[in-house]
Amino acid sequence: MTDTSNGNVTLTTSADGIATISFYHPAQNSLPAGLLRKLTDTIETAGYNTETRIIVLKSEGDRTFCAGASFDELLLIKDKQAGAEFFSGFANVINACRKSPKIIIARIQGKAVGGGVGLAAAADYCLATEAASIKLSELAIGIGPFVISPAVIRKIGLPAFSQLTIRAVDFQTAQWAKEKGLYNEVYADILSMDKELTSLTQKLASYHPQALVGLKQILWEGTGNWDQLLTERAATSGELVLSEFTQHALNSFLKK
């Protein structure tokens, strides 16, 4: 677990091999660099543990699932290298999900913004509530969802990604996200979602482990170049965040 002042990541594994990874940050479960590193490490640890059958990825609280990048931390970036390193944190989390040999089920209890949408897209299956609306706000602050775009497009396709990106200040509903393929199931509330999550993960944990590994490989076919691709995208975002436009936009958002 990390220092709670900067958020935390926890990993618990049940007797039947269900590994639950939970992250928290006091600023609407945003993801500063340290939390991204811990999340990457925890996904890798759970994925390569022979006792793990299924991974559940969730955040704490009953409101926002993930607010994406930490704006406070973005304002501290002063050079291209630091920018690329920060956005590589999101690339590393996505690639950890992609390369994990275990199926990852995401539990989305509330709004997902920016990198939070990327986390949902990096999972293999998503359960969400009606409150789990989504938004890609990056364009509105002078950058773009470049790092997460391969994962999001893989799930919802280019037309829906275009709408989500260009309508940068607008939330799309959880039902919209389900219709487009980001969410697989949407429930009225957290209680009903968690009931089905328990049932689903217990069933999956009882299946042949090698069959699940084989399924995981099929689900991610054609993504073998993502280590390089997402690194390149991180460099692009890291350069844009230094611009006067983006710095001004970030400061304006923080003053609201």
3 has pLDDT over 60: no
Q: Which of 2-11, 37-46, 190-199, 231-240 has the lowest mean pLDDT?
A: 2-11
Residues near 179 by beta carbon (within 8 Å), at least 6 away in sequence: none
Mean pLDDT score, 223-239: 96
Q: What is the mean pLDDT of residues 111-139?
A: 97
- Region 234-242: what's the mean pLDDT? 93
CA distances from 135 to 25, 145, 209 (A): 19, 11, 35
In this predicted structure, the answer to whether residue 198 has a pLDDT above a threshold of 50 is: yes
First-to-last CA distance in the chain?
32
Of 46-60, 113-127, 180-194, 237-251, the one with minimum mean pLDDT is: 237-251
Residues 211-230: pLDDT tens digits? 999 999 999 999 999 999 99
**Residue environment code for 138-170, b if the CB has 16+ CB neighbours within 10 A, otherwise e:** beebbbbbbbbbbbbbbbbeeebbeebbeebee
pLDDT at res. 119: 98
What does the block give as tokens for 133? 């609306």
Distance between CA atoms of residues 46 and 127, nearest Å: 20
Tell which wins on pLDDT, 188 or 252.
188
pTM strictly above 0.85:
yes
Residues 81-104: tens digit of each pLDDT = 999 999 999 999 999 999 999 999
217 contacts: CB under 8 Å, gap ≥ 6: none
pLDDT tens, position by position, 104-122: 999 999 999 999 999 999 9
